Amino acid sequence: MAKKLYKGNEAVAEAAIQAGCRYFFGYPITPQNEIPEYMARRMPKVGGTFLQAESEVAAINMVYGAGGSGARVMTSSSSPGVSLKQEGISYIAGAEVPCVIVNMVRGGPGLGSIQPAQSDYFQATKGGGHGDYHLVVYAPGGIQEAVDLTMKAFDTADLYRMPVMILGDGMIGQMMEPAEIPEDYQPIVTDKSWATTGGGRRVINSLYIQPDELERVNLRLQKKYALIKEKETMYDEYLTEDAELIFAAYGTTARICQSAINMLRADGVKAGLIRPITLWPFPDAPFAAAAARDGVKKFLTVEMSCGQMIEDVKLSVGGRKEVAFYGRTGGMIPMPRDVYHYALSVMR
Amino acid sequence: MAVVFKKTSMLTDVPLHYCPGCTHGIIHRLVAESIEELGAADKAIGVAPVGCAVFAYNYFNCDMQEAAHGRAPAVATGIKRVNRDCVVFTYQGDGDLASIGTAEIVHAAARGENITVIFVNNGIYGMTGGQMAPTTLPGQVTTTSPYGRDTSHCGYPIGISELLSTLKAPSFIERVSVHDVKNVVNAKRAIKEAFRRQIDGKGFSLVEVLSTCPTNWGMNPLDALKWLEANMIPYYPLGNYKDRDKEAASK
Amino acid sequence: MKQELIIAGFGGQGVLLMGKLLAYAGMNEGKEVSWLPSYGPEMRGGTANCSVIVSDEPVAAPIVQEASAVIVMNRPSLDTFEKNVVPGGLLLVNSSLIDVKATRDDIRVYYVPVNDIAAQVGNPRTANIVMLGAFVALTGIVTPEEVLTALRHTFGPAKEHLMPVNEKALAAGAAAVAP
């Protein structure tokens, strides 16, 4: 199949459909509107359902109902809307309902801006709602990867019976790149006898009023999370073998760091990049391994935030090497030249 | 020996946790019997609320989902869109439906979502210990309106049946009570009709059931039934508020 | 070969389409491409710009700050983006709407009256295609044929009748910067 030029938001939407998603509930918010718009056009043609909900709150609860009924279901939003969804996400995690949630992050806090940001990292990876739970969080660095991870997200959600998040940003949503969306994708088939489809006595629920019972549930969830950490952690490395300076960045920011690394290498500075693809589970092993190498002098975390992922980088590095930070916020994008200059100052 | 009365198979054998004299038990039975009598037992999916009926998923003998506070109509929407041939209902109290869940109920009704909503209105938050509800009567004492509901401070009760009946899409909206046998029989008729509308694909149906809370009203069960009749019914008149079948027939 | 390009103008001038056509054409020639638009609350009449990269190598950062070429379709865009051209880079100015000259002397500047040329070829709305013709002729980053293929793809069958005038516009743009 030939590559086509896709806008990120539309690529994510079509990838979801090719992965068997037939239900989409959402609410308009910039910069992800192309997703609900695409679904509104496309779902009726594949026998699926698109419904514009009255709010993000309602949308995520529709996802709960549909996911609890065994359907492959998705919702998408951007930061302020994802804040509204947190209640439902906590319930979905607690009730162990599979679904996919897309967050094309914009600047915050509050109404913030509509420009790209990465300031929802804490919310996405540390449990934005209440309770001891996690989402698997995928952070695509380009449109092809957004396609691949969206399709994988539905499998991961079904496999582990849990909500999975695609954490993009306004740039991923709005930019166009060539990508290939397979039309012969075979979704994994899991046992969904737990789903409410009528005629049974099944209960989708997150209420365990007896503390010992809830503790047992939480410990079981933790076992699941441990298994996910072991099996599903993903990352990419760029020129790290001989690197003295290791960048840590994800999503579009990692691409900007690659440009900066190319500039640094041209100047003889040995720089490389570790790019987490799953933000949860966080890939601490490659950071720990790099921190243990004598040749590695420093780490530099670059984010479109005031410094969120850096906390996980520091935990992984374990105090063995210095971890510096460069960030832009509010919808400002770090430019390769600025990152390059900052990296030079760090290495001086 | 002839069987003259049998518990509906749509209720489980789990003992109800409701307080003595509470009318939730009656309403559960009416809902369960209606579903069974309509032959929908093997395709029923219920959504439990947050509030006194939070454990309803233990009592209704069918597939159930437990929703977040106020969100049951949205959850039911998701269920119904996937299971179009199933009979999907929510069972919600006044705090759940008329306070925190107003957006969800209004929009489910406005869409004509083909679900049935059982709205239990007893004018108070029962589970959390007797706080003021959106349906608490003017002057009524609760733990958060200890001097009586002051309408100059927190406004007037919401008539959900009146409000939703202004919408075009709903098929059937009726307010009933369960304070005596005659009204219980009438409530059963309305609830069954509401489910029938869903089965016939007519769209959104809601039955508002006036109910008692002897514990938090501070009364014995009998006095609570009398109080309902004397105080709630004048404020919340019983009767049908919307019937699109009748509207169509009269045209 | 690599072009890192900023195209800017006001909404409605078709600057985003210019970028998309280049990306399409580049992709169809087997090159690595990316297209990143500015996006804002304005729907029409506001400013619009996009970053386009067409390269033989995989694209790292999709946002362009140090541009090998900048195309400005209106005056505010000249003021904003002239500084982004790398020394020795290319600046294409729509002299139909911009009555001032560029201030830098370390870059190659071409003044192309694209609105006037578009009117001459018979459709004022082809001004962006005229400019694209000039850019493609100067850089050779993609062939004019691929640009037309991309345009035909974008138009679809319903707008096939617009192809001849756009073909003329593309050629007229190239002629305007011919040595």
User: What is the average per-residue pLDDT within C61-76?
Assistant: 97
Is there an interface between B and A (3+ Cβ pairs < 8 A)? yes
**Is A95 part of the contact surface with chain B (CB cutoff 8 Å)?**
yes
- Do A151 and A201 share a structural domain? yes
Average per-residue pLDDT for chain A: 97
ipTM exceeds 0.85, yes or no = yes
- Do A267 and A143 share a structural domain? no
Provide the residue range defining the domain that includes B47: 24-142+152-249
Single residue among A211, A232, A253 that ends a domain in this structure: A232
- Do A187 and A44 share a structural domain? yes
Mutation to test the B interface, candidates A51, A101, A203, A206, most B Cβ within 10 Å: A203
- Do A92 and A191 share a structural domain? yes
- Do A173 and A61 share a structural domain? yes
Provide the residue range defining the domain that includes A158: 4-232
The Cα–Cα gap between B63 and B66 comes to 10
Q: Which residues of C touch A175 (CB under 8 A)?
A: 34-37, 62
pLDDT tens for residues A337-346?
999 999 999 9
Nearest chain C residue to A3 by CA: give it.
C27
Number of domains chain C contains: 1
pLDDT tens for residues C86-121?
999 999 999 999 999 999 999 999 999 999 999 999
Using the structure block, give the residue that is written with the tokens 């809370």: B213
| pLDDT at residue number C45 | 61
- Is residue B4 a part of any domain in this protein? no
pTM of the full structure: 0.95
- Do A46 and A102 share a structural domain? yes
**Is A61 part of the contact surface with chain B (CB cutoff 8 Å)?**
yes
The Cα–Cα gap between C152 and C148 comes to 6
Q: Which residues of B touch A91 (CB under 8 A)?
A: 67-68
- Is residue B6 a part of any domain in this protein? no
Q: Give the up-direction half-sphere exposure of residue C136: CA atoms within 13 A in the CB hemisphere.
A: 27
Number of domains chain A contains: 2
- Report chain C's terminal Cα–Cα distance, integer Å: 22
What does R_g of chain C's alpha carbons equal in angstroms?
15
pLDDT tens for residues C17-48?
999 999 999 999 999 999 999 887 655 567 89
B191 and B30 Cβ atoms separated by less than 8 Å: yes
**Is A226 part of the contact surface with chain C (CB cutoff 8 Å)?**
no
pLDDT tens for residues A128-182?
999 999 999 999 999 999 999 999 999 999 999 999 999 999 999 999 999 999 9
Using CB atoms, pick whichever of A3, A259, A262 lies closest to residue C27: A3
State whether B79 and A66 contact (CB < 8 Å). Answer: yes
Q: Which residues of B touch A201 (CB under 8 A)?
A: 12, 61-63
Single residue among A232, A252, A270 that ends a domain in this structure: A232
- Is residue B19 a part of any domain in this protein? no
- Is residue B119 a part of any domain in this protein? yes
Q: Which residues contact A312 (CB under 8 A, 6 or more apart)?
A: A125, A282, A284
pLDDT < 70 stretches in chain B? none
The Cα–Cα gap between B120 and A124 comes to 37
State whether A61 and B71 contact (CB < 8 Å). Answer: yes
The Cα–Cα gap between A83 and A65 comes to 19
User: What is the average per-residue pLDDT within A107-129?
Assistant: 95
Q: Which residues of B touch A197 (CB under 8 A)?
A: 45, 63, 82-83, 86
Single residue among A200, A232, A264 that ends a domain in this structure: A232
| pLDDT at residue number C43 | 53
A252 and A141 Cβ atoms separated by less than 8 Å: yes
Q: Any idea what the CATH number is for the domain that residue A204 is in?
A: 3.40.50.970
pLDDT at A1 over 80: no
- Is residue B17 a part of any domain in this protein? no
Shortest Cα distance from C61 to chain A (angstroms)?
4
pLDDT at A242 over 70: yes
C71 and C5 Cβ atoms separated by less than 8 Å: yes
Q: Any idea what the CATH number is for the domain that residue C93 is in?
A: 3.40.920.10
Provide the residue range defining the domain that includes C34: 2-176
| pLDDT at residue number C41 | 63
DSSP output for A204-250: E-----SHHHHHHHHHHHHHHHHHHHHHH--EEEES-TT-SEEEE--
Shortest Cα distance from A93 to chain C (angstroms)?
34
Q: Any idea what the CATH number is for the domain that residue B178 is in?
A: 3.40.50.970
